[in-house]
């Protein structure tokens, strides 16, 4: 086992841990430890909500979740000798669950508190609990499916520079200002409420909390990309913006469908992740990996090869209005088409929706030039179902 | 070989063929032949531009292409006994090239004549010619890559009902009316210019041409979905809107990257496709496959398992402005990030762009709920390159 | 289409073709044409029996097949500048069926005339006809299965040197001499009967026929390896033993299970194969590919990922006698175990046996050191069956 | 974590554990605990040699290993309600390493003490130590390779009935009697020396030890099949021969090449395995899974898709003598051909041999009917090497 360790106690919230992590992005959150290039270390993680969701049948906790608390992250880790302009190479060696906590949750956020991709179709909160049996997940709330998850960190990223942070805050505020009262909001701006910032205290805490970017969106530093294929064995190339890179990780998913369309989220869980780091000096210029991370997926993802694929095009499903190549509308329609089909198998709309949020469904940008309709597809793996789902010929 | 055949002569344009096909969607374009459920037939196809593009190094033909001519389709085929409300099940048994024409083309359309996904970065016309060697493609215009294509029809669909057609024309006109002078246009409305409508003549031709929807966008009838995984061995479930379904096909691609981002297009070619049809009576209601086709991909697609994946988020790359979960911007940035990287391998921007349009790159909707940033990824298969493209560690 | 062509007329036997091929290995069979390194050419092939098997329900033709006629090969092709000690690199660019002949056959040879892997269990001749529908095969003789074949040449090889040929004849005669009257025979020795030797005539024909090695076994020159994964897109590295290498090919299979256990054989068919050749000078020493060819499989084989796997160990199934690590007995028992299982699905033993000979089943050497039992496995792809074959839990 | 647990202390040998396991097959070895169908439980396992091999560079421990001690197994587990004639369905939910022991070993046994598949080529003992980094293994003794293992139990099986045991002892003694002084021996017969039999003591120990079959060979009960694809997520169907089935497991491999050709073995390690059991009453007759287990492989094995494949045919490599379709000789030649090639990359013969024993190489029975030569292949995954191993064209 790696010697360096970020440890968590599942019975405590992140701010109460011996070494607390953080839930904001800021260059001045102190590192919890440092490592040398080539070194391996383990990060234990709480679930992204900091333990707000319980293993029961009542979605109230999803409905009333405190979203200012997310995502509680483990880190940051300082990598010795790494400087801005370098690429930090992070190998995800393994990911696992805690034996004392072999379940996870998925939920649809309520429109008033977070919302989701299909918020206008499914505005109410819902929850499903998923039990882990080794590599497989099943749910008492979504029956007759069982699948091997593609386990991954929903969120992994490095610290922004102060300039980059300022730019994030500028552009996100500008967006919110276009419609500040929107429900759900257009973006989450910095707030001291529920901020966790490692061991920072007093004025320094206040300053960093006031500026610290929320962890919800993916950005130039990686962050909450929710890429389901960033699984065991992947190698990630991060552009570096601060000395030591300051790597953090959290939001582990036992499984997730492309798009994480229910928002809360994939199958969310606490767990651990083993990482090894290397560096490519001046790699940002050398390989022009500058604006976002790039990665090589790992070799042990479950591979399915029979799918039923649903198409969607970019016509508004309520108004019948034509959009211009809007891939979001196209993917939304592909999801809605899949849900309609899943209803014929006996699922409720909410169950089907949560299945698309949790199972390893593939969301593809099929065509984005055929004016005026984008086409996106959602591929449902046949073998996750107990029954044969393919329509039979007459 | 199947007995029923739609035949083309590569030396003639579509309107000059013995049995001409069509390049508009309309329920009243007459079927070229009819088949029974269970029957197999072959459709020979011209390339989507009706032969406007030549195998040379000059992109003028791409620049000045007559876009009113696209897409020349083979069909329609009437399937006996199939009625609105049924599902038409179409098995793509095989697809191939003509031995006399073992090359295809890809192009970037000029901003003034079509444009493309990265039109503001690459406004000039460009062209690459791809040579076929059995299952592999190479190009003198994009060196040091070779790949097995995922051969597929960019366009396959059934005829709309008159009501559906009217709705298409309504909503697309509404969109165009919001900015009628935009370059490139927001949509292509019906036009008699360059219309090919089978054997229709005189007043009937004029009526159908005036109403006939353009074939460019994918719609409820399938059509130009440009789904690269709709390859050999796939089974497609089409909702049926008119008696006999009236199936048409064209726009064959030797290969294409997800998104078909260069617009012209994948590796475009004439060729043939063998189809078998079945029916599921009342299948639209039974399986709720109503608004778009669904399909099961075939088993012989080239499978790559090592990728370098580029991420993109939904911040405007020119203004730095924040969009709200815009997957198009996110995918555009993923493409641009891949192009920047490909430049470090010695490609020009245009070469890299055309490579993304032609090679079997995967475009994924990774996250579409993490406000305000969508995250999309573009996965580049490592093994299409002669050299090792993965960044080496220090 | 490639310019150089070995052409066949399906209505004529190999010796009656305008340019006849051959059915023996000998360095002095004249080349049919020569090509330069880098050149692409097409070889049309008759089926391995030279058209002896008919598309009907009567296995008499299998029972009485003239085995002195096999395998009729297309070639040899002389590759300019290639010498002994080089590696001849052969790219299998594509393989296909003739549109006028979209069916193939599989058979169990009778014990008295050829025999098969399970000869003591299935000593009688049997036949199944397989119909091709694009990439798929089905059979009226083996119902309720449909699969995409892994199309490949059962036989591809280069000419032996005279010394190598002498060695083959020596060692095979030695084996036959240990039990010359065995039924089926231990090996097939040279015979003039039914020999086809290109355009050789008179004394030269007699000399070459008397010495020419039979094509049945795989040997140092490649030859009848019956490797099902040597499919489209493969690259083969052949050691070269004579000037020009003298490449020949035949015995095309639409599909075959590992082991080709029925002997006659996979799904046997006439067809065409497009090849491109390159050379690595002194490659035999450089890469120590000296005793047999090596190859890189192609990327478009159907990929299955759910299997039911049967194990077999090396205990004689008749006597209960213990063998020492005998992989043949282990694989035979794995096959027999699979057949017993298939009978519970309603197949006869012969049908099940022919299914294992034709479908893309995988035969694996699992363990060959655990004295005294070898363990081999046979993996049956679940998705070739119409029904779910996995045993259900109570 | 499962509640039922077979626990091991890595600092003690199997007979010294609080609950000792066993290293012989016998129906009268008492169960360590019982479970109900549907129940999940964890088995911790020692390495197969009972800790005889150390993490150092000296192969003496391999050379002098006490082979009477192998394989120390965890179990047996009694499954309530399961009777002879049933199928015991065992789901391998997960497999893992101990964090305190993240390394494994591979060795070539000396000819005088065990031998191996290529014993006449490599008669001396050798050893390689493999370090685990999450899903990956590397070795200081076999440089420039890194691969994700296909983790699996080399040995999993149920208890034989007394009759079956008697039959095993009869047939194996018969074989040994044909050449009792052979080195290495033809089989290992029962011996009290180093026997571990759970808590049996006194006369009962003596009786069971005198009869207990050695665990080395795979047999009708499964046992030491060394099937590399029996990995995480697999479902095994075991025929049941005694009340409660009496399931045991051990010999965990981090990775192994097909054939386990070095004999010692794959990458051998202690670790844990989580199992869930179900039953199919009278399943042996119902599904005719009677003579050996059958299984469905799991979905998370690393999948490679580029290979360099070596062929071998059944001609004796020393004498040049022709064998009759001997798959062992064919596979041995394929292995030797691969080793010769690997030497051109800078490996010694022993390193290459140990690489074939440890890496996920595929061994295939290609053809076993083409008299007189069998053809077997060995496929080497390209991507486990740091360098590109494919021969370059001139």
Cβ-based contacts of B274 with chain C (< 8 Å): 133-134
The chains in contact with chain D, meaning 3 or more Cβ pairs closer than 8 Å, are A, B, C
Residue A5 in this model has a pLDDT that exceeds 80: yes
Instruction: Supply the CATH classification number for the domain B307-384.
Output: 3.10.28
The rounded Cα D185 to chain-centroid distance in angstroms is 18
The rounded Cα A352 to chain-centroid distance in angstroms is 20
Quickly state the pLDDT bin for D1 (edges 50, 70, 90).
low
Q: Can you name the residues that pair with C294 across neighbouring β-strands?
A: C237, D310
How many CB pairs below 8 A link A and D?
73
A126 to A56, A228, A343: CA distances (angstroms): 12, 22, 17
Tokens of D274: 């989580």
Question: What is the block-wise mean pLDDT of chain C (394 residues), using blocks of 10 residues?
Answer: 86 98 98 97 98 98 98 98 98 96 97 97 98 97 97 98 98 97 96 98 98 98 96 98 98 98 96 98 97 96 91 97 97 97 98 98 96 97 94 92
| Chain B residue with the nearest C-alpha to that of D302 | B305
Find out whether B124 and B110 touch, Cβ atoms under 8 Å. yes
Residue D138 sits at the chain A interface (C-beta within 8 Å): no
Quickly state the pLDDT bin for D303 (edges 50, 70, 90).
confident
Interface test with D, best of C109, C214, C327, C392 (most D CBs within 10 A): C327
Contact flag B303-D304 (C-beta cutoff 8 Å): no
Residue B305 sits at the chain D interface (C-beta within 8 Å): yes
Cβ-based contacts of D333 with chain C (< 8 Å): 291-292
C-alpha radius of gyration, chain A, whole number? 21
Interface test with C, best of B4, B299, B383 (most C CBs within 10 A): B299
DSSP secondary structure letters along C272-328: EEEEEEEEETTHHHHH---SS-EEE--S-S-----EEEEEEESB-TTT-PBPSS-HH
Tell me how close the Cα of A138 comes to any Cα of chain D, in angstroms.
13
**D40 vs A133, A148, A301: nearest CB:** A133
DSSP secondary structure letters along A141-154: SS-SB-EE---EEE
**A93 vs D91, D134, D274: nearest CB:** D134
Tokens of B114: 């079509």
Quickly state the pLDDT bin for A120 (edges 50, 70, 90).
very high
- What is d(CA D340, CA D346) in angstroms, rounded to the nearest whole number? 10
The string of pLDDT tens digits covering residues B299-309 is 999 988 899 99
Tell me how close the Cα of D305 comes to any Cα of chain B, in angstroms.
7
The boundaries of every CATH 3.10.28 domain in chain A are 307-384
The boundaries of every CATH 2.60.120.580 domain in chain A are 4-296
**D303 vs B305, B383, B388: nearest CB:** B305
Cβ-based contacts of D229 with chain C (< 8 Å): 309, 364, 377
Of A270, A301, A300, A247, residue with least CA distance to A39: A247
The string of pLDDT tens digits covering residues A344-361 is 999 999 999 999 999 999
Residue A238 sits at the chain B interface (C-beta within 8 Å): no
Contact flag C388-A388 (C-beta cutoff 8 Å): yes
Exposure pattern of B170-200 as b/e (b: 16+ CB <10 Å)?
A: ebbeebbeeeeeeebbbbbebeeebbbbbeb
Tokens of C209: 């026929």
Cβ-based contacts of D305 with chain B (< 8 Å): 303-305
Contact flag C227-D366 (C-beta cutoff 8 Å): yes
The rounded Cα B368 to chain-centroid distance in angstroms is 25
- What is d(CA A215, CA D285) in angstroms, rounded to the nearest whole number? 59
How many CB pairs below 8 A link C and D?
318
Instruction: Supply the CATH classification number for the domain A4-296.
Output: 2.60.120.580
The chains in contact with chain B, meaning 3 or more Cβ pairs closer than 8 Å, are A, C, D
How many CB pairs below 8 A link A and C?
8
* Predicted local distance difference test score (pLDDT) of residue B4: 80
Residue C271, Cβ neighbours under 10 Å: how many?
23
* Predicted local distance difference test score (pLDDT) of residue A1: 59
| Chain A residue with the nearest C-alpha to that of B172 | A322
Three-class DSSP category at C107: strand
Please compute the mean of the pLDDT values over residues D245-266 and round it to a whole number.
97
Q: Can you name the residues that pair with C5 across neighbouring β-strands?
A: C42
Residue B385 sits at the chain D interface (C-beta within 8 Å): no
Helix axes A327-343, B327-343, angle to 10 degrees: 120
Of D357, D303, D162, residue with least CA distance to D242: D162
Residues 6+ apart with CB under 8 A from C255: C130, C137, C147, C149, C150, C151, C228, C266, C267, C358, C359, C360
Contact flag B148-C100 (C-beta cutoff 8 Å): no
Residues 6+ apart with CB under 8 A from C373: C313, C314, C315, C322, C325, C330, C367, D217, D218, D219
Residue C360 sits at the chain D interface (C-beta within 8 Å): no
Q: Residue A144, by phi and psi: left (phi above 0), alpha (psi -120 to 50) or beta?
A: left
C-alpha radius of gyration, chain C, whole number? 21
Task: Write out residues in chain B with pLDDT < 50, as ranges.
Answer: none
Residue D390 sits at the chain B interface (C-beta within 8 Å): no
Residues 6+ apart with CB under 8 A from D105: D47, D53, D55, D62, D127, D128, D129, D130, D264, D267, D268, D269
Three-class DSSP category at D76: strand
The string of pLDDT tens digits covering residues B355-374 is 999 999 999 999 999 999 99
- What is d(CA A75, CA A78) in angstroms, rounded to the nearest whole number? 9
Residue D301 sits at the chain A interface (C-beta within 8 Å): yes
* Predicted local distance difference test score (pLDDT) of residue D305: 82
Tell me how close the Cα of C196 comes to any Cα of chain B, in angstroms.
30
Residue D148 in this model has a pLDDT that exceeds 80: yes
D301 to A301, C41, D38, D116, D152: CA distances (angstroms): 8, 39, 25, 27, 10
Interface test with C, best of D25, D311, D338 (most C CBs within 10 A): D311
List alpha helices for chain C, DSSP H: 60-63, 162-177, 202-211, 283-287, 327-343, 349-358
B315 to A218, A329, B322, B368, B369: CA distances (angstroms): 10, 18, 5, 13, 15
Helix axes D327-343, C327-343, angle to 10 degrees: 120
């Amino acid at each position: 086992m790696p010697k360096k360790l970020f440890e968590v106690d599942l019975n405590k919230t992140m701010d109460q841990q011996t070494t607390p992590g953080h839930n904001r992005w800021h260059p001045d959150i102190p590192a919890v430890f440092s490592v040398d290039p080539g070194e391996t270390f383990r990060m234990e993680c709480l679930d992204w909500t900091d333990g707000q969701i319980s293993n029961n049948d009542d979605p109230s906790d999803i409905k009333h979740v405190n979203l200012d608390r997310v995502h509680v992250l483990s880190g940051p880790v300082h990598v010795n000798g790494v400087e801005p302009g370098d690429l930090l190479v992070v190998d995800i060696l393994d990911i696992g669950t805690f034996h004392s906590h072999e379940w996870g949750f998925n939920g649809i956020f309520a429109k008033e508190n977070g919302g989701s991709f299909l918020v206008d179709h499914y505005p109410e909160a819902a929850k499903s609990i998923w039990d882990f049996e080794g590599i497989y997940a099943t749910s008492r709330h979504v029956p007759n499916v069982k699948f091997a998850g593609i386990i991954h960190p929903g969120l992994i990223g490095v610290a922004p520079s102060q300039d980059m942070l300022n730019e994030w805050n500028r552009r996100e505020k500008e967006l919110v200002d276009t419609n500040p009262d929107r429900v759900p909001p257009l973006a989450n701006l910095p707030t001291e409420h529920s901020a966790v910032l490692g061991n920072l205290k007093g004025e320094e805490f206040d300053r960093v909390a006031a500026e610290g970017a929320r962890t919800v969106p993916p950005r130039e530093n990686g962050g909450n990309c929710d890429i389901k294929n960033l699984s065991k064995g992947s190698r990630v190339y991060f552009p570096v913006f601060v000395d030591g890179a300051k790597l953090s990780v959290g939001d582990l998913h036992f499984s997730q469908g492309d798009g994480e369309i229910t928002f809360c989220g994939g199958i969310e869980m606490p767990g651990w992740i083993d990482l090894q780091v290397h560096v490519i000096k001046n790699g940002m210029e050398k390989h022009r990996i500058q604006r976002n991370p790039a990665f090589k997926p790992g070799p042990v993802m479950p591979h399915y090869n029979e799918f039923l694929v649903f198409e969607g095009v970019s016509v508004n499903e309520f108004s019948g209005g034509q959009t211009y190549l809007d891939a979001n509308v196209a993917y939304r329609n592909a999801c809605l088409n899949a849900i309609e089909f899943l209803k014929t198998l006996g699922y409720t709309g909410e169950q089907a929706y949560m299945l698309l949020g949790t199972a390893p469904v593939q969301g593809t940008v099929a065509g984005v030039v055929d004016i005026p309709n984008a086409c996106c597809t959602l591929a449902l793996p046949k073998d996750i179902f107990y029954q044969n789902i393919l329509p039979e010929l007459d």
